[in-house]
C-alpha cells in the first residue's frame, strides 16, 4: 500500500471525528480527549485519544493504534475494508496497487451495489397488495413492530419468476452478474434465469461495515425449504486459496447475522447470545436483547467464532430445544472453546425456540434462562450421560472418553486443569488417570493438526507449482528475480538482456517489472519490501522461492543460463510464422481444387 496515500488517508480522517461518528463519547482532556474504552468494559474513561498524533491508547486493557487500527478492531474489518471505509468517508479514491486484489475489490463492490438495489425492491414490495400477506405474517404471526421491521430492512419477494429480474435489468445489471450475486438462479436444462427468492419474507444480511452482503428468505407458501439463504457468491480464486485479501463476495462460513447491531452492546458486556435463526435474533432484539446473533442456517464455523471473538469473551447458546438443536449446541460448545471463547447453554421448556419462548413467557423469563444457563462443560457432561447408566463400567468408560476429548480441546491450561479436577471429583475418577488420558488425546490431536498443516503446505506448494511452474522457463524466471534482488548493481544490465514481455508467467513478470522499477530509482530492495504489495498467498510463494534459491549458487553465469533458457523456451513455443505464398503456390492450389471438383 502506497505510504503517501495512507498518510493522506489518516490526515483526512481525524481519529477523534471517526471515533465520535462510531458512537464513542469523547471528553476534552489537555491537548486530547479521554473516553471509555470501546474494547473492554471500562467504567473509568481510561482510553486516551491524541488527534495531533493520530492515535488512541487505553491504559486499562493496553489496546492502542491509529485510525485504521481503530476502524479495523471496532468494526471487525480486514485491512483493505477499513481503508475503503475511511476512503469513502473522506471522498478519496483508493489507488490500484495489485491487479488481482483490485479485481476482487471491484467485484465485491459490484455485488454490494446489486444487493442494495435488490433490498430496495424487496422493501417496496411490502407496500403492494400482494405484500400485505408478508406484512401480516411479520406483524401478526411473528409479532414484530414496524420499527424493528424497518431496523432490519425486511421486505417481500413476490411469487413471481421474473419480478426482481425485470427490476434489476432495468437498473442496468446483466443476467450473468445477477446469477453470480445469487439474486437469480439459472435452469440447468434450458439455461433460462429466474428469481432466486420467490414468495418469501426477506431479511438483508448486513456486515459490520454496513454492506448488504446477501439475503435470507422465509417461505410464505408451501415450499419445503423453510429458509433459503444467498448462495456462496465468492469467486473460484477465493474458494481455492481461502486468502482473506481476495474475499470478493458472500461466504456463509464467515457471516454472523446481526453482528453489526450486537457488537455495540457486546463490546461492553463481552457477551453474545447465539441463536439458530434470523427471526429468533430479531424477536430477541425487539424484546431488548440487542446482543443476539445467528449463524444463518449453517453449523458454527471457526471463521464465525473468530468474528465473534472480536467483540465478546463468552457466548450464551440459545439454540432450539429439539434434538437437532441440542446436537448443534454440543458442537458449538466445542467450536467456541477451540476459538478461545467461553460458553453456556440455556435450557428451554414449553417452547421450541427463543422466538416462541419470549413471546409466550416474556422477557424476564428469558433473562432468567440466560442467567441460569449451564456452563458449556456441564452441558457436555449432561449430554454425554444421556441414555447411559454410569453405574455400569462400560457406560462409564464410554462417558469418560467423551469427557476427556472435550477437555483436550480446551486451549487454556488453567481452564483445562479446572475441568479435569471437576471431572475427578464429580465422577470419582483418579485425577492422575484423567490427566494422563487427556494428555494422550492432546498429543494425538497435535499430531493430527501437524499432519493437516503439512498437507496444507504441500497443497499450497502444489497449487503454486501448478499455477506458475508449468514450464522450465518459469523456474528460470524465479531464479533471475532472486539474482537481481541479491545483485542490484546487475539489474540494469540484466534488463538490457531480457525484457518483461519475454517472461512466460504473469506473476513473475509483475515482480520483475516492480523490482526493476524500484532499483532504477535507487530504492533498496529486500524480501520484506517485495512482499509489501502482495497477497498472503503470493507472499508465501515468493518466500518459498527465495528460500529455495538461497541454497543454490545463483551467480552471473547461472543468471545468463536462465536468460538463455527463457529465450529458448519462447522460441520453441512461438506460433509458426505464416510464409508468404507466391503466385506459383496459388496456381498449384487452384489446380488442386479443380481436380477435387472433377
For position 371, which CATH number holds?
3.40.1360.10
Q: Are residues 132 and 235 in the same domain?
A: yes
> What's the confidence (pLDDT) of residue 99?
46
User: Per 3-state DSSP, what percentage of the chain is helix, strand, and coil (rounded to 5)?
Assistant: 55, 10, 30
Q: Give alpha helix (H) positions in 392-430.
A: 393-408, 413-427
Kindly state the cell numbers that stand for 514.
Answer: 516492480
- Cα distances from 104 to residues 231, 355, 386, in angstroms, run 18, 38, 49
Distant-in-sequence, close-in-space partners of 92: CB < 8 Å, separation ≥ 6: 8, 9, 12, 86
Write the burial class of residue 337 (CB in 10 Å: 0-12 exposed, 13-18 middle, 19+ buried). Answer: buried
Cβ atoms of 491 and 519 closer than 8 Å: yes
Q: What is the CATH number of the domain that holds 565?
A: 1.10.860.10
Q: List beta partners, residue 344.
A: 316, 375
Please enumerate in sequence order all residues whose Cβ is within 8 A of that of 583, keeping only pairs 6 or more positions apart, or say none.
none
Q: Give the C-alpha separation, 111 to 180, whole Å.
A: 8
Q: Does 481 share its domain with 367? A: no
Q: How far apart are CA 444 and CA 82, in angstroms?
A: 40
Q: Are residues 184 and 233 in the same domain?
A: yes
Share of the chain above pLDDT 90, in %: 52
Q: Distance between CA atoms of 469 and 456, rounded to whole angstroms? A: 19
| Beta-sheet pairing, 64-66 with 55-58 | antiparallel
Q: Which three cell numbers stand for residue 407?
A: 477437555
Grid cell for residue 573: 513455443
Q: How many domains does the chain have?
A: 4
C-alpha cell at 405: 476429548
The domain that holds 220 is classified in CATH as 3.90.980.10
Strand partners, 342: 314
Q: What CA–CA distance (Å, rounded) separates 234 from 211?
A: 15
Examine the domain organization and report whether 239 and 280 are in the same domain: no
Do 68 and 205 belong to one domain? no
CATH number, residue 12: 3.90.580.10
Whole-angstrom Cα distance, residue 93 to residue 155? 33
**DSSP H or E segment with residue 71:** helix 67-75
Same domain as 489, residue 542: yes
CA distance 211 to 115: 9
Q: What is the pLDDT of residue 433?
A: 96
Q: What is the DSSP letter of 502?
A: G
pLDDT at residue 457 in the model: 61
Mutual angle of helices 3-12 and 67-75, in 10-degree steps: 80
Instruction: Pick the last residue of a domain from 25, 58, 90.
Output: 90
State the Cα–Cα distance between residues 1 and 594, nearest whole angstrom.
Answer: 67
Residue 447 inside a domain? The answer is no
Which of 384, 417, 451 corresponds to the end of one domain? 384
Q: What is the CA radius of gyration of the chain?
A: 30
Environment class of residue 63 by beta-carbon count within 10 Å: exposed (0-12), middle (13-18) or buried (19+)? Answer: middle
- Note whether residue 132 is domain-resident: yes
- pLDDT attached to residue 518: 76
Are residues 299 and 359 both part of a single domain?
yes
Residues ≥6 apart with Cβ < 8 Å to 290 = 261, 262, 264, 265
For residues 207 and 314, membership in a common domain is answered with no
Q: What are phi and psi of 204, to 5 degrees?
A: -65, 145
Q: In this structure, is residue 116 part of a structural domain?
A: yes
Q: What distance, in Å, lies between the first and last C-alpha atoms of the chain? A: 71
Are residues 203 and 281 both part of a single domain? no
Last residue of a domain, one of 361, 384, 407: 384
The H or E element containing residue 56 is strand 55-58
If one counts every other C-beta atom within 10 angstroms of the C-beta of residue 77, the result is 20
User: What confidence score (pLDDT) does residue 305 get?
Assistant: 95
The pLDDT score that the predictor gives to residue 531 is 82
Q: Are residues 85 and 170 in the same domain?
A: no
In SS3 terms, 537-555 reads as: HHHHHHHHHHHHHHCCCCC
127 shares its domain with 44: no
In a domain, 352, yes or no: yes
Whether residue 131 is contained in a domain is answered as yes
DSSP 213: E
DSSP 257: B
Burial (CB count <10 Å: 0-12, 13-18, 19+), residue 330: buried
Give pLDDT < 50 ranges for the chain. Answer: 99-100, 462-463, 466-470
In a domain? residue 407: no
Q: Are strands 314-317 and 342-345 parallel, antiparallel or unpaired?
A: parallel
Task: For residue 157, give every residue at least 6 positions away whose Cβ sits within 8 Å of its Cβ, in sequence order, or none.
Answer: 122, 125, 163, 164, 195, 197, 198, 199, 200, 202, 217
CA 113, 119, 124, 125 torsion: positive or negative?
positive
Which residues are within 8 A (CB) of 417 and not within 5 positions of it... i.e. 6 or more apart?
none
297 located within any domain: yes
Q: Which domain holds residue 530?
A: 469-573
- Give me the helices (H) in 152-251, please: 163-170, 175-180, 236-241
**Taking the CB of residue 422, how many other CB atoms lie within 10 A of it?**
17
Asked if 291 and 258 touch (Cβ cutoff 8 Å), the reply is no
SS3 at position 72: helix
Question: What letter would DSSP give residue 276?
Answer: S
CA 541 – CA 522 distance, rounded (Å): 26
Within 10 angstroms of residue 54's Cβ, the number of other Cβ atoms is 18
Same domain membership, residue 236 and residue 105: yes
- Residue 135 is predicted with a pLDDT of 96
Whether residue 433 lies inside any domain: the answer is no
Amino acid at each position: 500500500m502506497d505510504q503517501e496515500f495512507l498518510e493522506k488517508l489518516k490526515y483526512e480522517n481525524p481519529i477523534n471525528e471517526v471515533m465520535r461518528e462510531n458512537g464513542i463519547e469523547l471528553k476534552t482532556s489537555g491537548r486530547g480527549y479521554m473516553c471509555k474504552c470501546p474494547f473492554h468494559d471500562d467504567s473509568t474513561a481510561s482510553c486516551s485519544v491524541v488527534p495531533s498524533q493520530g492515535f488512541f491508547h487505553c491504559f486499562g486493557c493496553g489496546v492502542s493504534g491509529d485510525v485504521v487500527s481503530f476502524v479495523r478492531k471496532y468494526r471487525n474489518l480486514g485491512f483493505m475494508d477499513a481503508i475503503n471505509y475511511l476512503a469513502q468517508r473522506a471522498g478519496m479514491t483508493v489507488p490500484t496497487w495489485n491487479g488481482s486484489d483490485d479485481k476482487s475489490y471491484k467485484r465485491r463492490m459490484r455485488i454490494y451495489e446489486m444487493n442494495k438495489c435488490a433490498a430496495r425492491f424487496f422493501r417496496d414490495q411490502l407496500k403492494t397488495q400482494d405484500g400485505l400477506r408478508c406484512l401480516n405474517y411479520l406483524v401478526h404471526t411473528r409479532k414484530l413492530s414496524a420499527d424493528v421491521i424497518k431496523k432490519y430492512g425486511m421486505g417481500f419477494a413476490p411469487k413471481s419468476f421474473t419480478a426482481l429480474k425485470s427490476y434489476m435489468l432495468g437498473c442496468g445489471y446483466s443476467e450473468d452478474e445477477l446469477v453470480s450475486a445469487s439474486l437469480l438462479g439459472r435452469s440447468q436444462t434450458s439455461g433460462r434465469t429466474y428469481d432466486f427468492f420467490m414468495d418469501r419474507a426477506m431479511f438483508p444480511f448486513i456486515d459490520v461495515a454496513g454492506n448488504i452482503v446477501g439475503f435470507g428468505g422465509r417461505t410464505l407458501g408451501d415450499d419445503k425449504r423453510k429458509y433459503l439463504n444467498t448462495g456462496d457468491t465468492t469467486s473460484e480464486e477465493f474458494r481455492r486459496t481461502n486468502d482473506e485479501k481476495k474475499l470478493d463476495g458472500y461466504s456463509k462460513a464467515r457471516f454472523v447475522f446481526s453482528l453489526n447491531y450486537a457488537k455495540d452492546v457486546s463490546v461492553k458486556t463481552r457477551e453474545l447470545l447465539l441463536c439458530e435463526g434470523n427471526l429468533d435474533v430479531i424477536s430477541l432484539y425487539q424484546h431488548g436483547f440487542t446482543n443476539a446473533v445467528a449463524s444463518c442456517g449453517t453449523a458454527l464455523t471457526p471463521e464465525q467464532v473468530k468474528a465473534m471473538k472480536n467483540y465478546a469473551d463468552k457466548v450464551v447458546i440459545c439454540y432450539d430445544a429439539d434434538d437437532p438443536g441440542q446436537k448443534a449446541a454440543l458442537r458449538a460448545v466445542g467450536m467456541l472453546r477451540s476459538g478461545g471463547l467461553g460458553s453456556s447453554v440455556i435450557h428451554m421448556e414449553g417452547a421450541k425456540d427463543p422466538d416462541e419462548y419470549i413471546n409466550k413467557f416474556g422477557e424476564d423469563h428469558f433473562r432468567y434462562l440466560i442467567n441460569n444457563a449451564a456452563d458449556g462443560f456441564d452441558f457436555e457432561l449432561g449430554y454425554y450421560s444421556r441414555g447411559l447408566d454410569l453405574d455400569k463400567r462400560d457406560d462409564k468408560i464410554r462417558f469418560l472418553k467423551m469427557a476427556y476429548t472435550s477437555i483436550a480441546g480446551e486451549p487454556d491450561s488453567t481452564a483445562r486443569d479446572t475441568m479435569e479436577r471437576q471431572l475427578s471429583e464429580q465422577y470419582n475418577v483418579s485425577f492422575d488417570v484423567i490427566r494422563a488420558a487427556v494428555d494422550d488425546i492432546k498429543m494425538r490431536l497435535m499430531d493430527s493438526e501437524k499432519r493437516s498443516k503439512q498437507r496444507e503446505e504441500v497443497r499450497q506448494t502444489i497449487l503454486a507449482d501448478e499455477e506458475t511452474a508449468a514450464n522450465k522457463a518459469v523456474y528460470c524466471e524465479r531464479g533471475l528475480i532472486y539474482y537481481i534482488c541479491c545483485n542490484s548493481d546487475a539489474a540494469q544490465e540484466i534488463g538490457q538482456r531480457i525484457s518483461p514481455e519475454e517472461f512466460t508467467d504473469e506473476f513473475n513478470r509483475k515482480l520483475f517489472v516492480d523490482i526493476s522499477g524500484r532499483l532504477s530509482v535507487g530504492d533498496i530492495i529486500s524480501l520484506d519490501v517485495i512482499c509489501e504489495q502482495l497477497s498472503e498467498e503470493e507472499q508465501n510463494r515468493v518466500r518459498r522461492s527465495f528460500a529455495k534459491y538461497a541454497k543454490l549458487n545463483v551467480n552471473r553465469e547461472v543468471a545468463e543460463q536462465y536468460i538463455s533458457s527463457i529465450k529458448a523456451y519462447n522460441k520453441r513455443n512461438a506460433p509458426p510464422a505464416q510464409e508468404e505464398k507466391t503466385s506459383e503456390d496459388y496456381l498449384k492450389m487452384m489446380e488442386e481444387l479443380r481436380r477435387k471438383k472433377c
